[in-house]
Amino acid sequence: MKKLIIFLAVFLFADPLFTINEYRKAVGLNPLEENPSLTLAAKWHTKYIFANNEITHIQRKYGRFYSGKTPTDRAISCAYESRFVIENLSRGEKSYNESIKDLFGAIYHRLGFLNFNINEIGFYRLNDIYVYDMGNSFINEACKINGKEKSGFAGLCRDKNKIISKDVFYNQMKVNPKVVFWPYNGMQNTPAVFYEETPDPLPDYGVCGYPVSISFNPYYYENKKINLISFELYKNGKKVQKTKIITSKNDVNRMLKKTEFVLFPLERLEYGAHYDVKADFVIEGRIKSFEWGFDVEEKTIPVITVVGTKGKYFIKPDITYLIYFKPLDAYDKLSHLRYEFKRGISMNKIGYKDANTVYLNVSGYPGKTLKITTDKRKIILVIRK
Of residues 182 and 303, which shows the higher confidence score? 182
SS3 152: coil
Q: Tell me what the mean pLDDT of segment 319-345 comes to.
A: 85
pLDDT at 6: 34
Q: Which range is least confidently modeled, 31-40, 186-195, 336-345, 375-384?
A: 336-345
The neighbouring-strand residues paired with 163 are: 154
pLDDT at 351: 80
Q: pLDDT band at residue 53, thresholds of 50, 70 and 90?
A: very high
Closest CA to 228 of 259, 201, 202, 254: 259
Compute how many other C-beta atoms are within 10 angstroms of the C-beta atom of residue 3.
7
Q: pLDDT band at residue 11, thresholds of 50, 70 and 90?
A: very low
Q: What is the DSSP letter of 175?
A: G
pLDDT at 66: 97
Average pLDDT, the chain: 92
How many whole angstroms separate alpha carbon 237 and alpha carbon 239?
A: 7
Does residue 334 register a pLDDT over 90?
no
Q: Tell me what the mean pLDDT of segment 222-236 comes to.
A: 96
Contacts of 161 (CB under 8 A, 6+ apart): 154
- CB-based burial label for 61 (10 Å; 0-12, 13-18, 19+): exposed
pLDDT at 181: 98
DSSP string for 80-133? --B---EEEEEES-SSHHHHHHHHHHSHHHHHHHT-TT--EEEEEEETTEEEEE
User: Mind listing the pLDDT tens digit for each residue in 163-192?
Assistant: 999 999 999 999 999 999 999 999 999 999
How many whole angstroms separate alpha carbon 235 and alpha carbon 247?
A: 23
Burial of 171-207, coded b for 16+ CB within 10 Å and e otherwise, reads bbbeebeebbbbbeeebeebbbbbbbbeeebbeebbb
Q: What is the DSSP letter of 170?
A: H
pLDDT at 14: 63
Q: Tell me what the mean pLDDT of segment 365-372 comes to.
A: 89
DSSP string for 56-92? -SS--TTSTT---SSHHHHHHHTT--B---EEEEEES
Q: Tell me what the mean pLDDT of segment 306-324 comes to.
A: 89
- CB-based burial label for 228 (10 Å; 0-12, 13-18, 19+): middle
Does residue 1 register a pLDDT over 50?
no
Under 8 Å between Cβ of 319 and 361 = yes
Under 8 Å between Cβ of 231 and 213 = no
Does residue 39 register a pLDDT over 50?
yes
Does residue 29 register a pLDDT over 90?
yes
Q: How far is CA 275 from CA 24, 280, 295, in A?
A: 21, 17, 6
User: Mind listing the pLDDT tens digit for each residue in 62-121?
Assistant: 999 999 999 999 999 999 999 999 999 999 999 999 999 999 999 999 999 999 999 999
Q: Tell me what the mean pLDDT of segment 40-60 comes to.
A: 97
Share of the chain above pLDDT 70, in %: 96
Q: Tell me what the mean pLDDT of segment 221-242 comes to.
A: 96
Does residue 136 register a pLDDT over 70?
yes
pTM of the complete model: 0.86
Does residue 316 register a pLDDT over 80?
yes
pLDDT at 202: 92
Q: Tell me what the mean pLDDT of segment 147-155 comes to.
A: 90
pLDDT at 213: 98
